[in-house]
Amino acid sequence: MVYIRQDKLPKLKEYKYSGVDHSLVSRYVMKPFYSHVVIKCFPMWMAPNLITLSGFGFVVANFLTMLWYTPTLDQDCPPWVYASWAIGLFLYQTFDAVDGSQARRTHQSGPLGELFDHGVDAVNTTLEVLLFSAATNLGQGWKTVLTLFASSLTFYVQTWDEYHTHTLTLGLVSGPVEGILTICFVYAATAVLGGGSFWQRSLLASIGVQNHDFIPDILYSMAWNEWYMVYGGVVLVFNTVSSALNVMKARRARGQRTRVALLGLITFFAAWILIPAYLYLQPVILHQHLVPFIFYAGLINAYSVGRIIISHLTKSRFPRGNVLIYPLIYGVADSLGPRLQDWVGFGWPSALGNDVYQVAFVFMCLGLAIGVHGSFIVDVIWTICDYLDIWCLTIKYPYQPVKENVEKEDADKKGQ
């Protein structure tokens, strides 16, 4: 499959990064830390994409420890495991933020950097869902699925917003800044508090609130992790509505119809109609083999987001549809037949059944997703590097501060 058509390649040279960050934490705390401390730790010969990939390595290490100590997402781990997750995620956030500064000071800014950055973030989103679920002992169930939905929607809508407004907008509270810092705090607190089982206790009871008659029992018994999900839901709604308003405002300013842009959300919600439907029909996957399925569902979103970024960079039509949901359509149809026979007396037999073949089907879907998304990544990186005559993880043409370049930089600074 061709992901970047030849006639769209010249658009890559027109790329210019545009971003707005309204976060006060980012402006007054994180960015000064990155600019005055962290950036000095990286040599000038180090490529920005290599910094991004190195940061992602910490998350992969965290994921491997999760698989070793709590593959079912509901077991308490040694305190050092949670502490390592907090450190690893913070380092990932730091490396991910510094790669832009490194690109600017080495004069390596370009479309490949944005694609690489978003691609790594998309995979990290799925891994962090599993790590967060393990840290708060959500286990294999609907709470973990709901966490994945919220994280995937946040990332998809942010990318959809950037495609239509041509600007990456981060609000007062955003996932890449406050969201990651909050999760780092959760990991660190879990290490101190003795394990993920703490987050299953009642929040109100833990802080000493008496169970008065005017407090509903369902409210009083809500655990810490359930309150966190309520908080995440509020932030999710706020950010989604804000992005939709940004998109509609930008399209109206250009004299374009807003409903055309809103149709771009159908791809996401089509997948998320099938995902809970399949898990409802196959409780064995939901409660016993959720980790590989979560990985597969996360790659569905990562593939969509990657194609949106490519369309943004090449000024192409918004991509609709996702080939990775086709196996899921089959899985739902196959599982629905026996249920219809039980409910209405009419249906069809399942080819996969409810046991080992269903598990094999999930791993087949995961393998397909890794293959398709992996081929997409290799193809677009190879195409962009070949056209722009650059390398991905090393600097092919180091910047030379000759007299003409220095004078141009001085003129640009005076103009600003």
Place of tokens 């101190």: 192
The answer to whether 118 is a known catalytic residue is yes
Exposed/middle/buried for 25, CB within 10 Å: 0-12, 13-18, 19+? middle
Torsion (CA) 149, 155, 156, 157 in degrees, nearest 10:
100
**3-state DSSP helix/strand/coil % of the chain, to nearest 5:** 75, 0, 25
Alpha-helical runs (H) found in 263-355: 266-281, 283-288, 290-314, 326-344
Distance separating alpha carbons of residues 41 and 94, to the nearest angstrom: 12
Query: For 125, how many CA atoms within 13 A lie in the half-sphere containing its CB?
Result: 29
Distance separating alpha carbons of residues 333 and 358, to the nearest angstrom: 13
Phi and psi angles of residue 106, each rounded to the nearest 5 degrees, phi first: -100, 0
Nearest residue to 315 (alpha-carbon basis) of 2, 7, 1:
7
Distance separating alpha carbons of residues 192 and 201, to the nearest angstrom: 15
Nearest residue to 26 (alpha-carbon basis) of 148, 212, 175:
175
3-state secondary structure of 109: coil
Distance separating alpha carbons of residues 147 and 18, to the nearest angstrom: 29
Catalytic residue selected from 22, 36, 107, 118: 118
Exposed/middle/buried for 379, CB within 10 Å: 0-12, 13-18, 19+? middle
Residues paired with residue 43 on neighbouring β-strands, in sequence order: none
Nearest residue to 183 (alpha-carbon basis) of 236, 145, 134, 142:
134
Residues annotated catalytic, as ranges: 118
